[in-house]
Chain A
Amino acid sequence: MIGQIIKKQLLLLWRNPMQLVLLAGLPIILIAILGTALSGMMEGGSPNINMKIGFINHGDEEKQIDQFIADMEEELPSETVESIRPAVEQWKPAAMLKDVFDNEELKEMTQFNEAQPAERDKILADDSYTAVIEIPENFTYETLENRILDKTNEPALNVSLNNGHQIGSSIVNDILHQFQEQLTLGEFLANEGIDQTVLQLDEGLVPGDKTSISQKNPVSAKDYYAVGMAVMNVLFIASTIGSIAFLERQIHVFDRVILANVSRWIYFIGTFISASIISALHLLIVYGFAWAVYGVSWPNLAAFFTVTLAFAIAVGGIAVLLTAISYRFNSEVIINFFSGIIVTLMAVLGGSFFPIGDSSPFIRMLGNLTPNGAGMSSYLKIIRGDGIVEISSHLLFLAVFALVAIIIAALSFPKRGASI
């Protein structure tokens, strides 16, 4: 019986090409428009992007270089030491990294703050920072040991990214990789460059979400808007299913189902499952297109499918909630209000149009309390390289949201048919 209801819903959508085009085509077009527009803006260095970078050097670079030369003089012949001294004296990775962020080109979008080690905890607790870069105490000395003496202990930078600042942290990520590549490919380090493991994330220091740049998947504008538009537009599935269900009540199809001695719960469950299936299909179609045309890919497919399933179930919950309320009040107003107003509000809060994470923590929290916001955060984390563990809080929220929606819907769903 439930299968018949699902089959009928799929057939009805299939037979309605205009609705299909609107549901699937609209997000695809929006991804193209917004993704292109924003990527252009990012390439042009938009002053609208504000990054606050904290920089803490726990050591003294000059002293480390002097110490390294002194230690070499004890171990190596003086000729050898003299031959490499100029190169060693020029090797100042901490100063170079500081210059990268504290320069004129980035001034418009970057607020660079060099802090003392004593201020570390305060800075890491400050959510306004996009990233905090820490140079460990013996970083310069160890890189010289690694490069000159071929010692295996690879020195590491500590970088804390605030993923609440989604675009900003992505840009910092990119800059660090470019810096690393320059060092690696540069003449001075031609043979002994720092590899990617030099950069390690210090997890759990900055409040909010963080991602490991050692897993280094920056989120492009196309990625961002593919996710943003997909999670927004799938909400319209809920209102579409709700509208179909309400029409079924208006034209007494629901009465026919009840008169056939079919439990109203069968109809309820059929509506919920069909909304969930159609939502999942919708997401897969939009992401499939985004993958084929814009190259939006998913490093962790299991996590991707898990989020898609959880999010689709949450949308199914919204669909039955809208259905039940419209049945209860015998009015389509709630469905129209949802598709006309609430979806837009949820899309803005959830970050579909701009990175909500760059706003206040309160708005970010509100965003993550919307199913699309939770879905979006999960998808973006997966693109960056996170796994199911890192997105578990969002998955839990989606599951709880769906459950609450279903319970409220079940309590509101009328006992009998007949809209007179």
Chain B
Amino acid sequence: MLELVDLSKKFKQIYAVKNLNMFIEKGEIIGLLGPNGAGKSTAISMLTSLVEPTDGDVRFHNKSILKKPAPLRAVIGMVPQEIALYDDLTAQENLQFFGRIYRLKGAVLKKKIDEILELIGLTDRRKDVVKTFSGGMKRRLNIGVALLHDPEVIVMDEPTVGIDPQSRSYILETVKRLNAERQMTVLYTSHYMEEVEFLCDRIYIMDKGDLIASGTKEEIKRILSAEKTISIKADRFNDTFIDLLEQNPTINRVVAEEKEVTIITAKETNLFSDLIKMAEDTGIELNSVDVKTPTLEDVFLHLTGRALRD
């Protein structure tokens, strides 16, 4: 249905996106994963025809949309990362304005606004100005605006940034419902692994403008089939302990945080007694050592040596 072919975007001498290849089939929920600055937003701006690529093509139903984007634009809904709403207008006025921009009017527009407000749970706040809304409510309205013209494809750029867990859960459930009930195709970008794991059928992982992995969740996790992730927790760690871990030849990756150190090592390696000894030698009092089931976060760590939220 929608295809990105060798898509690149260069700003001055730096590639924001390099040779990106993606495809999206009707009714799928696709996750585009990567840390901040990975090139996700540039990629979806090119996909939605808002930014012209330096190289490559965007194809919709096998036709390039670079020169004639109107057919794609007619069926695409965009939820930008920013709250693309007027703070000084009410929820209803925002929906009316964007509805009229989408050429809806009269009874059709009114009915659509009622339906959207119901879907995003803001019917009783329809006459309140947006600036009085919580972050979660603004995010929901941000999504609602993109649904006004019944798009076939909805592109959501980090739609849950900076909101409370309850609102995030509401948004994720809404996306699931849109996909299940309306067969809406969804492209969902995030740097929250758990969201992508929860929502998506297939996943693309980007880092520094490159596509570094793609496939179903299971396929991607299989990248770690020869490795395992160990989480070590303590009240505090010191540099000597971290140095010892990094110097250990059987450990592939070390990511240290204040109270948790995550290491990736070969599956057959038994590090337990070594870890206890290292902790004793460096004066670290361990709270726990857990071997974890691999997550997408671990995959990213494995592929880039960095945590997603670094």
Q: How far in angstroms is the closest Cβ of chain A from B40?
A: 10
Is A118 part of the binding interface, using a Cβ–Cβ cutoff of 8 Å? Answer: no
**0/1 string, A217-255, CB within 8 A of B gives 1:** 000000000000000000000000000000000111101
> Cβ of B286: which chain A residues have Cβ within 8 Å of it?
none
Residue in chain B with minimal CB distance to A15: B88
Given the known interface contacts A12-B86, A418-B51, A420-B16, the answer about A252 and B80 at a Cβ–Cβ threshold of 8 Å is: yes
A259:B82 contact, CB within 8 angstroms: no
Residue of chain A at shortest CB distance from B71: A261
Known: A4-B97, A420-B16, A420-B45. A259 touches B86 (CB 8 A): no
B93 touches A (CB below 8 Å): yes
B 41-85 to A, binary, CB cutoff 8 A, 1 in contact else 0? 110010011111000000000000000001001101010101111
Please give the number of chain B residues whose Cβ is less than 8 angstroms from any Cβ of chain A in the complex.
33
- In the bound complex, how far is the Cα of B42 from the Cα of A256, in angstroms? 16
User: Taking the complex as formed, is B182 at the interface, i.e. its CB lies under 8 A from any CB of chain A?
Assistant: no
Query: How far apart are B196's CB and chain A's nearest CB, in angstroms?
Result: 22
Rounded to whole angstroms, the CA-CA distance of A4 and B50 in the bound complex is 22
Other-chain contact of B50, A16, A262, A416 (Cβ < 8 Å): A416
Cα–Cα distance between A151 and B246 once the two chains are bound (Å): 118
Of chain B, the residue at the smallest CB distance from A251 is B82
Q: Does B129 contact A (CB under 8 A)?
A: yes
Of B45, B80, B101, which is within 8 A of A1 by CB? B101
**Number of cross-chain contacts by CB at 8 Å:** 78
Q: Given A8-B89, A11-B89, A256-B98: A418 and B50 within 8 A (CB)?
A: yes
Q: A251 and B50 in contact (CB under 8 A), knowing A4-B101, A15-B88, A262-B101? A: no
Expressed in whole angstroms, the minimum distance between the Cβ of A307 and any Cβ of chain B is 32
Could you tell me which residues of chain A, from 164 to 190, have a CB within 8 Å of some CB in chain B?
none
* Residue B186, interface by CB 8 Å: no
Flag if B45 contacts A8 (CB, 8 Å). no
**Which listed residue (A1, A255, A415, A420) contacts B100, Cβ 8 A?**
A1
Known contacts: A8-B89, A260-B102. The answer to whether A255 contacts B74 by CB under 8 A is: no
State A256–B78 Cα separation when bound (angstroms): 7
Determine whether the beta carbon of A418 is less than 8 Å from that of B45.
yes
Check A256 against B145 for contact (C-beta < 8 Å). yes
Residue B217 is within 8 A (CB to CB) of chain A in the complex: no
- Subset of 7 A-B contacts with CB under 8 Å: A4-B101, A15-B88, A251-B83, A255-B50, A255-B80, A257-B101, A258-B73
